């Protein structure tokens, strides 16, 4: 890395008060030895703690993604891309982790990834092949992991997004919501109505837990490695030596659980009319491996259960922020969750 490149990167990260910038530059200096470290440099902030580093040179250009993590999330992502996916024969189906760097006190870790570009899968696109390829990769991930001895290790480090996740989120959400009252907090009448409406939903969901847990047990299938956050901006379809290849990024929520958790996340990003054929790509890939999904009716119940688990989780943190910090945005976030509950529809048509 040239002095100009280092100066530009340090300047960009200093403007955002990011820790560990010097350590990151030291690591990049090793990565960028030679012509890739020469020429113009641009550092673009994409969102909080995520940057794109572009380097130009006489031989072309090179681009990296820089992500700042707390140590636990850094370790989770590193386990996925350097251990678990390679063990499943899928090490080339994610962004390559080029280097890591920790700040001197060990509170933050930088990851340097190859940049997959600026065009993740677009739910509004008329190109139907991309979503199908993502479903095929997802099926391959789920099937290979479910049959692999690494699943207990994945569960040990990353936890579960299945029955235990649902139960804990519902109970924790109820506990913190019930505390949003005097003397801990003095909500307005409107805020009380919002709290009480969410509690009524969660009380009903608590009563339904035995039925939903039986559903997960009987129809959820074996636990497997889940991406855990499969929004379309975490899925890419890119040119490869033998044609387009799907890849995943963003493994912050990777965990063990039923396949319905990942499937519902991805399918709900698309218009309802598109979901059956997107799911069919997963079914076809799974069937070739003697792995079969439940009926659409049962899948709808599983998908609803996964969504409710996520909604309950999203209740917890704004409520905690209200209790611990009096965060003014807390009730706004809770109102957003209430709208999600109101708007949830079955993922798949039944006719």
The Cα 332–Cα 319 span in angstroms is: 11
CATH of the domain at 86: 3.30.200
Tell whether 8 and 134 lie within a shared domain.
no
Which of 54-58, 97-101, 332-336 has the weakest average pLDDT? 54-58
pLDDT of residue 200: 98
The pairing of beta strand 224-226 with beta strand 255-257: antiparallel
CATH of the domain at 258: 3.90.1200.10
Within-domain flag for 205: yes
Place of tokens 């790509």: 281
Tell whether 96 and 145 lie within a shared domain.
no
Q: pLDDT above 70 covers what percent of the chain?
A: 95
pLDDT of residue 149: 94
Within-domain flag for 327: yes
Tell whether 34 and 156 lie within a shared domain.
no
The answer, yes or no, to whether residue 126 has pLDDT greater than 80, is no
pLDDT of residue 34: 56
Angle at 266 between CA 265 and CA 270, to 5 degrees: 115
Tell whether 70 and 219 lie within a shared domain.
no
Within-domain flag for 121: no
Tell whether 37 and 145 lie within a shared domain.
no
For the segment 141-192, what is each residue's pLDDT rounded down to a tens digit? 999 999 899 999 999 999 999 999 999 999 999 999 999 999 999 999 999 9
Within-domain flag for 68: yes
CB distance 345 to 273 below 8 Å = no
Tokens of 74: 């850094």
The predicted model gives 328-348 an average pLDDT of 97
Tokens of 71: 């140590």
pLDDT of residue 101: 95
The answer, yes or no, to whether residue 121 has pLDDT greater than 80, is yes
Tell whether 14 and 95 lie within a shared domain.
yes
The predicted model gives 312-338 an average pLDDT of 97
Confidence of residue 20 (pLDDT cuts 50, 70, 90): confident
Number of domains in the chain: 2
The Cα 134–Cα 53 span in angstroms is: 27
Tell me which residue of 323, 315, 320, 317 sits closest to 183, measured CA to CA.
323
Q: pTM score, two decimals?
A: 0.93
pLDDT of residue 55: 81
Confidence of residue 41 (pLDDT cuts 50, 70, 90): confident
The answer, yes or no, to whether residue 290 has pLDDT greater than 70, is yes
For the segment 259-269, what is each residue's pLDDT rounded down to a tens digit? 999 999 999 99
Tell whether 142 and 82 lie within a shared domain.
no
Range of the domain at 30: 3-114
Tell whether 146 and 268 lie within a shared domain.
yes
Helices (H), the chain: 3-15, 21-31, 71-79, 85-87, 129-146, 151-158, 163-178, 189-219, 259-267, 275-287, 296-325, 330-343
Confidence of residue 242 (pLDDT cuts 50, 70, 90): confident
CA 249 to chain centre: 8
pLDDT of residue 174: 98
Helix/strand/coil percent split, the chain, to 5: 55, 15, 30
For the segment 65-82, what is each residue's pLDDT rounded down to a tens digit? 999 999 999 999 999 999
pLDDT of residue 179: 97
CB distance 154 to 256 below 8 Å = yes
61, 90, 114: which is the final residue of a domain? 114
114, 147, 166: which is the final residue of a domain? 114
CB distance 244 to 237 below 8 Å = yes
pLDDT of residue 38: 57
Tokens of 307: 């969504």
Tell whether 34 and 144 lie within a shared domain.
no
pLDDT of residue 124: 83
The predicted model gives 211-234 an average pLDDT of 96
pLDDT of residue 215: 96
């Amino acid at each position: 890395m040239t002095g100009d490149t280092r100066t530009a990167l340090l300047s960009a990260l200093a403007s955002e008060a990011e820790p560990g910038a010097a350590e990151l530059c030291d690591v990049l200096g090793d990565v960028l030895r030679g012509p890739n470290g020469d020429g113009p440099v641009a550092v673009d902030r994409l969102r909080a703690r995520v940057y794109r580093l572009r380097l130009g040179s006489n031989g072309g250009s090179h681009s990296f993604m820089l992500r700042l993590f707390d140590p636990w999330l850094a370790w989770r992502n590193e386990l996925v891309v350097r251990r678990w996916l390679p063990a499943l024969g899928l090490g080339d189906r994610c962004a390559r982790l080029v280097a890591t760097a920790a700040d001197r006190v060990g509170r933050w870790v930088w990851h340097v990834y190859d940049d997959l570009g600026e065009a993740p899968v677009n739910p509004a696109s008329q190109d139907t092949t991309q979503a199908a390829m993502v479903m095929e990769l997802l099926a391959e991930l789920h099937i290979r992991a479910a049959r692999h001895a690494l699943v207990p290790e994945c569960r040990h480090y990353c936890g579960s997004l299945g029955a235990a996740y649902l139960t804990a989120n519902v109970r924790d959400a109820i506990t913190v919501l019930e505390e949003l009252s005097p003397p801990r907090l003095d909500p307005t009448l409107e805020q009380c109505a919002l709290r009480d409406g969410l509690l009524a939903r969660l009380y009903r969901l608590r009563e339904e837990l035995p039925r939903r847990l039986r559903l997960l047990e009987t129809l959820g299938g074996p636990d497997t490695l889940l991406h855990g956050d499969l929004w379309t901006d975490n899925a890419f379809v890119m040119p490869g030596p033998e044609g387009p290849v799907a890849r995943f990024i963003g493994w912050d929520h990777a965990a063990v659980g039923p396949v319905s958790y990942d499937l519902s996340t991805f399918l709900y990003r698309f218009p309802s009319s598109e979901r059956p054929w997107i799911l069919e790509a997963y079914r076809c890939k799974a069937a070739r491996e003697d792995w079969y999904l439940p009926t659409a009716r049962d899948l709808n119940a599983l998908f609803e259960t996964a969504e409710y688990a996520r909604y309950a989780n999203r209740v917890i943190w704004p409520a905690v922020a209200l209790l611990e910090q009096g965060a003014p945005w807390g009730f706004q976030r809770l109102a957003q969750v209430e709208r999600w509950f109101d708007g949830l529809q079955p993922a798949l048509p039944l006719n």
